[in-house]
Structure 1
């Protein structure tokens, strides 16, 4: 059975049939919907399953959508979903770097050089910050260890104070002469710890070894005792 024409709705025979836009047309019926210009398969443009020429082809226009409550709800829902997706992507990619740098030998050399420079600067800053604290600690320790001058109580008219005689220290055996460094005490010093040594102003300390900038180790020539002593209490001979 022969189909019907899409325009005149008459039977289309095979000799005059055009199959286009899901319809069958007579050759004479395949014309523009506006200007009625004859069309063929090369110059037609289809819109809504109707043929048009290039000049009268309907152009798509932007449709103004009313801002109804339903559209507002959909808009807010889409916005919330986009924010949720953005936060999820941000949490997944947080702390990751998107820049891929090839680890070439030149970059490796620069990286090692920067690490060495940073380590040197760190140690310099650490030593600078540590030195003032050491000086303050040694100074406070020295001031704490300096013996205070003895002040006897004031004597009244009916009481006379006689200080008890100091016990006589037995004379120590004279140590053999030493060829090490020799220092002379310029202040009296009383040992505060077991590993320290006491001495008096004018004593000679021999076999002196430097421990650090604030402390030494040596032997008092007068008593024969040896131990640690503060460096700022003695001077070199």
Structure 2
């Protein structure tokens, strides 16, 4: 459905559309109803959904009429009801007040008012000092002075009654000082007792925004300090005193290492040393006969097995005479002992040399810089800075290759090379 202009009732296209007063208008048709002045959205005034200019905008006028008795009566009743309601609320609120906290501005204003009052009083007092006029006391003045005196006495006694039970500060006597000291000692004893009772107990309070911010800042500073110290100590070693436990562990490790290394060699040497003695003793037993220290072997034991003839034999021992060889036993042919060849010790092959440490990120100094703090490093122009590590915006950490010193340096004084 096409939109119609409210003035010329023709179709309104979007390029010339003007929507105002719940109607659609051509921009050229949006004129004052009286003088046909072209209006816009800033200078028009609407009345009954018809546009007017500021001059011809219709105004509303009122007609004054005489108050009828009925209107006067209603007005009077309204006034009376308003007064009654006001006094009712006033009586309810009488004697009641609301306490509010003194703001800093109110406290400052009160202090300034007090100071101004004291200044004004003292100024008037200084101005009127030594200025007086002597006049004769009239009977009325005498009566007034007497009454004032009497009133002053009454006021004095009233103030005295009010200030009764109050005290005036005087110098502490030795007894009072001793009593105060005893009270202090008792208080300290009680405090120590309460502290001992409450030791180990804690009170949890919620973390405020300031506390969380402070904790986060402390953690960040601690991490930065830790990394700075870590970078300074990188590549260095610390020598500590060996305690008895560490020395004992080192000694045990060395002994175990020596035992493990010489274990096989010592065992072989011991076996080679003992082997000829055992063979000579066995031959001596067969030739001489019974030996009391050597127990008699049981027939059929594995030690009597002859592997050459694949049969068992036994050695008969008598209390006297030559030993009788067992039945079916044939003496084995004599064997000559040949020690195994000794293995010469071969040293381990040399280890290859470790490659040089990497220089990491390398930067070149553009200007001279002198350190302003203990954790900073100085350098000259064209110096090479190796193992550079950015820390934050504007600062990095590196080692001056010329001097070998490591520390903080401004990142805008150098440029990366690799």
Return the TM-score normalized by structure 1: 0.36
The structure where helix makes up a greater share of residues is 2
Return the TM-score normalized by structure 2: 0.22
Task: Please say which structure displays the higher CA radius of gyration.
Answer: 2
The structure where strand makes up a greater share of residues is 1
Q: Which has the higher contact order (CA 8 A, sep 6+)?
A: 1
